[in-house]
Structure 1
């Protein structure tokens, strides 16, 4: 599996601050910095497909872990008391797994520092229900902050009206997956010969799926089964509960997207 090295340019590096609780944000952070001990999905068959290919460690100025919501009061009247004492100035904040009242306080805190945008990934709709998301959107609009609430995180795409968030997707090459795939004929079958990850899901699952596709027949039922098994096995940690807005489990939405991107890559190849 191949991938181009990140190009070096003269543009100032995009800077990030993570404010989080729980394991999901840690998965994203470890994927972004390309932690050598992070991806163990292939176990003894690991061929280090993604290591030494990229590292965004310099983009992350801080990863600030807050108290687990289950250990906090159900309602917090003074959320600033529980917020970090110091947050470095960055371009973008990513908030995940936080107590709802602390999440509502985030826009006030980051706007004072000159942070320009907020991404709140939604892997479980109970953490960020639609009403809370609407409140956050309205508050961020008042403060002139860019916002994105990708559900799941691997649905995030660039948008013309969100230049800072678009830089996150384009420069760190994470968000909705993008692949290049080449095939070969073997007898009557068309087999996937090589894959290139152009953009990965923020958790890094695209690398694993891409590797598992090599040698797979492109017949739809065989291909779909291989994609689904790899996506689940990585594993995807989005909720399996049915989302009230999507009418599907968020995990399934992530699976459909990687399947669509594989098909797109095959059509373009």
Structure 2
């Protein structure tokens, strides 16, 4: 593999020297040019044809330089930071990520957009506050395929209803992630999502709606817009177990999506799917092809064995409540039924 060719544009010579000292001699990295931010900087970048351009400049000047470099070298990845910011901002044709300055080497080596980590090696960050989220985190950790990395962050329980400064509630560092799964039990967690996605570099977010009080429709619309502005795809499955590899929600409100990261997650967790074998009218064998994220399908599967095939569908509702399913029991106005009943219907359809 050829090394990443790096060009450094800096408003401060000390910064340029520091970056050169940090990355020179590192495996897989080659410095092909250094210049100040004025004069013929863009021309020098175009001539060097780098893979990565590191820009250090104040915010206003930084934006101008990013636009000019993207036009002059559209295939280059830009790693930009301002002197008063402790995050890296990575650009392709639009801003993609925010990371710590300490992650500079990782940002340089990261493959170009479209060539990032295979979804098979999914990096998942799970946000949770209480039992609902912790149970899902534990099941996903246990059942995820070996290439996945599953990290969790317990979000503070005492979040204000309206956050004026989301960054004040975030830890100094969050692990890098391709996908964020938000399992908060308050609307405050959802308000943190744009900042969290930016800080950990996520390209997609799943924020399931198993209780509309935690994630009301108005907040979903706002979040979808704010995440889209950051180049992040979001899915809001209602209930969580309606998620498939192409869409989510129940039939009358089905929403399709395009995201390799969400699709990879939904290949293993989402709308339950079984392979059932019968012998003389009774269920002889049940294989779970796709489990609910909470593990409910796996818990129900073994209970179905030995049942009369005609009675099994009716028994599913009892088994699911007993598990128990933690979807809200209140009637959801948009569905005309409770989210618990919607989840039971999906499980019965699978059987």
Structure 1 length-normalised TM: 0.78
Structure 1 partner of 2:124: 16
- C-alpha distance in 1, partners of 2:231/2:119? 23
- C-alpha distance in 2, partners of 1:85/1:195? 46
Q: The residue matched to 2:336 in structure 1 has which SS?
A: coil
Structure 1 partner of 2:222: 135
Aligned CA distance change for structure 1 residues 144 and 55 (closer, same or farther; 3 Å): closer
1:31 aligns with 2:139: yes
1:177 aligns with 2:290: no
Q: The residue matched to 2:337 in structure 1 has which SS?
A: coil
Structure 2 partner of 1:265: none
- C-alpha distance in 2, partners of 1:224/1:21? 33
Q: Could you say which structure has the greater relative contact order, defined with CA pairs below 8 angstroms and 6 or more residues apart?
A: 1
Q: The residue matched to 1:87 in structure 2 has which SS?
A: coil
Structure 1 residue 112 displacement after superposition: 4.3
Structure 1 residue 208 displacement after superposition: 1.4
Of Structure 1 and Structure 2, which has the larger fraction of its residues in strand? 2
Aligned CA distance change for structure 1 residues 61 and 183 (closer, same or farther; 3 Å): closer
Structure 1 residue 223 displacement after superposition: 2.3
Instruction: Name which one, 1 or 2, has greater alpha-carbon Rg.
Output: 2
Q: Which runs of 5+ in 1 are unaligned?
A: 1-9, 35-53, 263-269
1:11-160 paired onto structure 2 within 5 Å: 13-34=121-142, 54-56=143-145, 59-68=148-157, 71-159=158-246
Q: The residue matched to 1:201 in structure 2 has which SS?
A: coil
- C-alpha distance in 2, partners of 1:55/1:168? 9
For the Cα contact (< 8 Å) 1:79–1:102, is it kept in 2? no
- What is the aligned-residue RMSD (CA, Å)? 1.9
Structure 2 length-normalised TM: 0.60
Q: Which runs of 5+ in 2 are unaligned?
A: 1-117, 247-256
Runs of 4+, deviation exceeding 6 Å:
none
For these two proteins, the number of residue pairs brought into alignment is 224
